[in-house]
Amino acid sequence: MTVIKHMKTKILALAMLCLLSIGSFAQSDLISGKVTDRWGEPVPGALISLVSNPEVRVSTDAYGNFAIGAAVGDQLAIVTRELETTRAEVVDQNDLEVVIDYASKPVNLGFGISQRMAESTGSVSTTSSEEINRSSALSLSNSLYGNALGLTSMQNGGAVWEDYADFSIRGLKTLSNNNVLVLVDGFERSIGTLSREEVESVSILKDAAAVALYGFRGINGVVSVTTKRGRYNSMDIDVSYDHAFTTPLRLPDFANGYTYASAYNEALENDGQPAKYNSYEMDAFQDGTAPFLYPNVDWVNETLKDKGYSNIYNVGIRGGGSKMRYYTLLNLEGNDGFIKDTETNDGYSTQMKYSKANIRTNLDVDLSEKTKAEVNLLGIIAEHNRPGRIHGTLMDNLYTLPSAAYPIKTYDGIWGGNETWTTTNPVAGVQNTGYARSHARSLFADVKLTQDLDLITDGLSGAFRIGYDNYAEFWEGKTRGYQYASDRLGFNNGIPVDTIRTAGGESSDLSFSRSLGTQNRHFNFAANLDYETSFTNSELFTSLIYSQERIVYNGQHNTYNRQNLAGYAHYTMHNKYIADLALVVSGSNRLAPNHKYGFSPTLSAAWVISNESFMQGVSAVDFLKLRASAGMINSDYIPAVNLWEQSYDGGSSYPFTDGFNSYGGIREGRLPTRDFKLERAFKYNLGLDAVLYRGLTITADGYFERRSNIFVPESGQNSAVLGASSAYVNAGIVDSRGIEIGIDYEKIKGDLSYFVGAKYTLTKNEIVEQLEAPRAYDYLKTTGQPVNQLFGLQAIGFFIDEAEIANSPVQQFSAVKPGDIKYKDQNEDGFINEFDVVPMGYNTAVPEAYFSFELGFEYKGLGFDALFQGAANYSALLNTKSVYRPLVDNTTISNHYYDNRWTPENVFAKYPRLTTESNDNNFRNNSIWIADASFLKLRTIELYYKVPKSVLENLRLKSAKLYVRGMDLFSIDGIDISDPEVIGVSYPTSKSINIGVAIGL
């Protein structure tokens, strides 16, 4: 059984347990043996069967021992409970040693096809449940930082319910769509709301051989999640609880009232305008004696606190009898946000709260000897709560409102507010505008039937699977308004003469509103026919797979129908030479008539060098495999619906009549694409998998990809005189290349075990062709540069005085003054303008280098582990309002900017002079604002204690673990004042200390 069908294995296991040792061949003897892992630890519950007669099967006991009726020379197949598989040949009757090692690990290609690592020809990395659960993230998507070789997973800002990581695999490869395909149990599903607990493993499918079977969707790589399933004749109950004490990571720090007023006056002076605050007012700000007239409100601290919390509860039951297996999970998660004083209203809270329940049942039922069924259901109920009026704008308000704007409340208890700063008073927004809620429901459901078709011919089997997923979101709000006012002094000759009150807004009762948010549904269908056979010294597995999916999102032109027909063959010779061929025809409703299908051939091969006879004496090398793949994968991405047709749509109407009436118009849309082609990737990969010294695992890949036929608009080449939107043509080409290296060392020695590991990926790309419009200078071209390369002006300091301005090239963006940024004249034409930008930094989305290292040890149940993850060749654009763009448009100023601003006394400053006017010269992409966003973060650090077996037995527990964890505790980077991954106005990212307990019953 070269390729073991995932489900089938489990079914076999069932049958085996019932018929624990059948000796059906007369000449066989009882062979005894032991299954151990690579450190010599026994592997209980592994299934051992005869390759020549799979119906002869036994399982190992708690000490890894087994006995099976076989003859010398027979091949045994071994499958563990974690679905690791291996082979062993019976050499004599006693003490057969079977080692489950790295090469035995399963590689899941989807569509029921699973291979052991030793036989896989594709580039696939797998992360286990154990690694994922070193994190305490609320979502699976946030638990993969640095965990999976080849997956670039970047943190996102935002509230907990929308804070899911961005994934990319092998960098930016195209100008169109770089999204990776995310699968849960083989179907395209979101993993944002999936809990870590229900996941068995996550595989990253990277090269052509790994993604071939997914047709159009797999072109950018695949993240494939496998959930847990039941086990025969056992029952394990896992209960766990995790509590997080969360703290915002790097809240913004804005100037106090006095500093703000000083900065504003300084900015006005710089602009040649009279001061806004007179000396009386400045004194009042400084001594703070009139807080209602001259306030100093730290809005961030008045609105946000530095403590929140999360809770995660899991109850999982995993087991089965002799004919059915089950895994069921109840997962509850909750998070309370960082908003202060949210309980001031009777009957409701305005906290940013999130709660979610996942209820999963995965069932495997053996309907008969040859017919197996599988039912998987996951229901998710999620809700969140937030303040009423300022949902979505709370953080923006905090990044806008100066400390000196107005007091929280006036002296007579009215909320502060005025006409200059029309943004909602954040404290009033939290306490006095009601609340809003969202309710979301998801259902992931699928059913699979597998039928053994031995009746037709030996080795034939078939299966089909149907799935239906649905997601819907409902919003409701109960909001109300509030009255506001503020007071200021009127002056005569610098002496206060009266108090002037401005007031506005109206206090109102709660009013109700509701709406339906996004909804979508997926229908999935897959069927396959598998045939496996063996010849002398070689084995062949073939599969014919048909699959289709229908995804319907809100709105018109949002239906995606796709289908694939795949022929797959996997050939193994002498256990050394392995070849795979995948021929896939994919169809999609997004594509032009007569071009609805694409054909993707992929060929890959591996050579297991360690199985060669000349390697048998090399004891250092336990396993060594070289692999190579080449394939052509198509995409059904189109930049606009029906782009091959000349479109016409309702254009502007023209008002001939003398009123507001007009006659409707029709207009021509974009010109149609001639010669429609599919975007296409040619993917090449060379890789190596090795295990040395029984513990050192090395995986290395190098790849090249040419993405061609990318749709780009022809407008870059067409004359404007054409007068129509130019067609898209398949002319774009992007080359990308890179390496991925993973090294792990793991050792168990008596009571001590430890591991260290490192992962590194580097990806580079270059736009080869994109029909770019001609540029005045070659260096302005984006062709030849990486996708999304930043461009900017080179700052060479700040102007010291008018004389320097007069003697420098004219900077044409806006009038410059001393303290404004001076730029390098790249083309030496005497003018600084848009022609003086040069490529600068990298891009702001996907870092070119992504790496991590981890270590851990355990001694007598006491353990420690830590994971660091970093990124390099990664840029940030510093343009956050108030933080890097202070004062302009009635914003405030950060202490960071204030301390680093240019003044005549501080000419070697970091940032330009203060101004109250929009300044096109300073605030545009340049070397000051394009910053290096490389970082190294401590993603997880954990100290745990596993209660020893002796104690557990008294407590009737199978296992118990107590831990203290730190999540994202620190980041080393050059940004310093905000999270390098989340720059801009955003709900703060958090760090946390978690305590938890996990008990096995």
Q: Within 432-491, which residues bind other proteins (CB under 8 A)?
A: 447, 449, 466, 468
CA distance 654 to 170: 50
Task: CB nearer to other proteins: give 180 or 780.
Answer: 780
Task: CB nearer to other proteins: give 867 or 914.
Answer: 914
Taking the complex as a whole, how short is the minimal distance between the CB of residue 788 and other proteins, in angstroms? 19
Q: Which of 40, 392, 517, 655 binds other proteins (CB under 8 A)?
A: 655
CA distance 717 to 203: 43
| Contacts (Cβ under 8 Å, ≥6 apart) of 739 | 700, 701, 702, 703, 760, 761, 762
Task: CB nearer to other proteins: give 62 or 720.
Answer: 720
Task: CB nearer to other proteins: give 214 or 294.
Answer: 214
Taking the complex as a whole, how short is the minimal distance between the CB of residue 661 and other proteins, in angstroms? 9
Taking the complex as a whole, how short is the minimal distance between the CB of residue 875 and other proteins, in angstroms? 21
Paired strand residues for 756: 745, 855
* Helices 279-287 and 257-270, packing angle to 10 deg: 150
DSSP string, 308-322: EEEEEEEEEEEEE-S
Question: What does the angle CA 387 – CA 390 – CA 394 come to, to the nearest 5 degrees?
Answer: 100
Residue position matching structure tokens 């070397």:
927
CA distance 149 to 354: 31
Task: CB nearer to other proteins: give 577 or 835.
Answer: 835
Q: Which of 512, 535, 614, 663 binds other proteins (CB under 8 A)?
A: 663
Taking the complex as a whole, how short is the minimal distance between the CB of residue 455 and other proteins, in angstroms? 14
Tell which positions 526-565 bind other proteins, by CB under 8 A.
Answer: 548, 550, 552, 557, 559, 561, 563
CA distance 970 to 986: 19
Taking the complex as a whole, how short is the minimal distance between the CB of residue 773 and other proteins, in angstroms? 4
Q: Which of 388, 544, 575, 535 is nearest to 463 (CA)?
A: 544
Task: State the virtual CA torsion across 217, 223, 229, 231 in degrees, nearest 10.
Answer: 120
Tell which positions 783-822 bind other proteins, by CB under 8 A.
Answer: 810, 812-815
Q: Which of 86, 405, 428, 85 is nearest to 254 (CA)?
A: 405
Q: What is the DSSP letter of 646?
A: -
Q: Which of 41, 298, 476, 834 binds other proteins (CB under 8 A)?
A: 834
Size of the chain in residues: 1001
Q: Which of 412, 666, 750, 806 binds other proteins (CB under 8 A)?
A: 666
Taking the complex as a whole, how short is the minimal distance between the CB of residue 642 and other proteins, in angstroms? 7
Which range of residues in 129-137, 566-574, 618-626, 656-664 is near other proteins by CB under 8 A?
656-664
Which range of residues in 507-515, 520-528, 692-700, 847-855 is near other proteins by CB under 8 A?
520-528
Taking the complex as a whole, how short is the minimal distance between the CB of residue 451 and other proteins, in angstroms? 9
Taking the complex as a whole, how short is the minimal distance between the CB of residue 892 and other proteins, in angstroms? 21
Tell which positions 590-649 bind other proteins, by CB under 8 A.
Answer: 591, 593, 596, 642, 645-649
Task: CB nearer to other proteins: give 674 or 749.
Answer: 674
Tell which positions 891-920 bind other proteins, by CB under 8 A.
Answer: 917-918, 920
| 3-class secondary-structure state, position 778 | helix
| Contacts (Cβ under 8 Å, ≥6 apart) of 901 | 263, 909, 911, 912, 913, 914
Taking the complex as a whole, how short is the minimal distance between the CB of residue 770 and other proteins, in angstroms? 14
Taking the complex as a whole, how short is the minimal distance between the CB of residue 366 and other proteins, in angstroms? 10
Q: What are phi and psi of 987, to 5 degrees?
A: -55, 135
Task: CB nearer to other proteins: give 128 or 548.
Answer: 548
Tell which positions 697-756 bind other proteins, by CB under 8 A.
Answer: 717-724, 727
Exposure on the CB side of residue 188, measured as CA atoms within 13 A: 25
| Contacts (Cβ under 8 Å, ≥6 apart) of 925 | 790, 791, 792, 793, 837, 840, 877
Task: CB nearer to other proteins: give 464 or 745.
Answer: 464
Q: Which of 27, 660, 750, 830 binds other proteins (CB under 8 A)?
A: 660
Q: Which of 988, 876, 999, 976 is nearest to 352 (CA)?
A: 988
Which range of residues in 115-123, 224-232, 746-754, 826-834 is near other proteins by CB under 8 A?
826-834
Residue position matching structure tokens 């050499």:
91
Question: What does the angle CA 932 – CA 737 – CA 600 come to, to the nearest 5 degrees?
Answer: 135
Q: How many residues bind other proteins (CB under 8 A)?
A: 74
Contact between 73 and other proteins by CB under 8 A: the answer reads no
Q: Judging by DSSP bridges, how do beta strands 75-79 and 85-89 pair with one another?
A: antiparallel
Asked if 190 and 182 touch (Cβ cutoff 8 Å), the reply is yes
Tell which positions 561-590 bind other proteins, by CB under 8 A.
Answer: 561, 563, 587-589
Tell which positions 318-357 bind other proteins, by CB under 8 A.
Answer: none
Q: Which of 90, 100, 7, 4 is nearest to 45 (CA)?
A: 100
Tell which positions 224-283 bind other proteins, by CB under 8 A.
Answer: none
Asked if 934 and 851 touch (Cβ cutoff 8 Å), the reply is no
Task: CB nearer to other proteins: give 537 or 662.
Answer: 662
Q: Which of 629, 603, 609 is nearest to 686 (CA)?
A: 629
Q: Judging by DSSP bridges, how do beta strands 538-553 and 511-535 pair with one another?
A: antiparallel
Which range of residues in 312-320, 498-506, 741-749, 770-778 is near other proteins by CB under 8 A?
770-778
Asked if 218 and 212 touch (Cβ cutoff 8 Å), the reply is yes
Task: CB nearer to other proteins: give 323 or 764.
Answer: 323
Task: CB nearer to other proteins: give 672 or 784.
Answer: 672
Taking the complex as a whole, how short is the minimal distance between the CB of residue 191 and other proteins, in angstroms? 23
Q: Which of 662, 796, 904, 949 binds other proteins (CB under 8 A)?
A: 662
Taking the complex as a whole, how short is the minimal distance between the CB of residue 906 and other proteins, in angstroms? 28
Contact between 664 and other proteins by CB under 8 A: the answer reads yes
Tell which positions 280-319 bind other proteins, by CB under 8 A.
Answer: none
Asked if 631 and 600 touch (Cβ cutoff 8 Å), the reply is yes
Taking the complex as a whole, how short is the minimal distance between the CB of residue 468 and other proteins, in angstroms? 8
Contact letters for other proteins, residues 363-382 (x by CB under 8 A): ----xx--x-----------
Taking the complex as a whole, how short is the minimal distance between the CB of residue 991 and other proteins, in angstroms? 41
DSSP string, 916-985: SS--TTTSSSBTTTEEE--EEEEEEEEEEEEPPHHHHHHHT-SEEEEEEEEES--EEES--SS-TTS-SS
Tell which positions 835-864 bind other proteins, by CB under 8 A.
Answer: 835
Tell which positions 929-948 bind other proteins, by CB under 8 A.
Answer: none
Contact between 497 and other proteins by CB under 8 A: the answer reads no
Q: What does the longest C-alpha to C-alpha distance in the chain come to?
A: 117
Q: Which of 658, 778, 828, 905 binds other proteins (CB under 8 A)?
A: 658
What tokens does 163 get?
A: 């804070």
Contact between 420 and other proteins by CB under 8 A: the answer reads no
DSSP string, 711-755: EEEGGGTS-GGG-SPPPEEEEEEEEEEEEEEEEEEEEEETTEEEE
Taking the complex as a whole, how short is the minimal distance between the CB of residue 714 and other proteins, in angstroms? 9
Contact between 831 and other proteins by CB under 8 A: the answer reads yes
What tokens does 50 get?
A: 């005869």
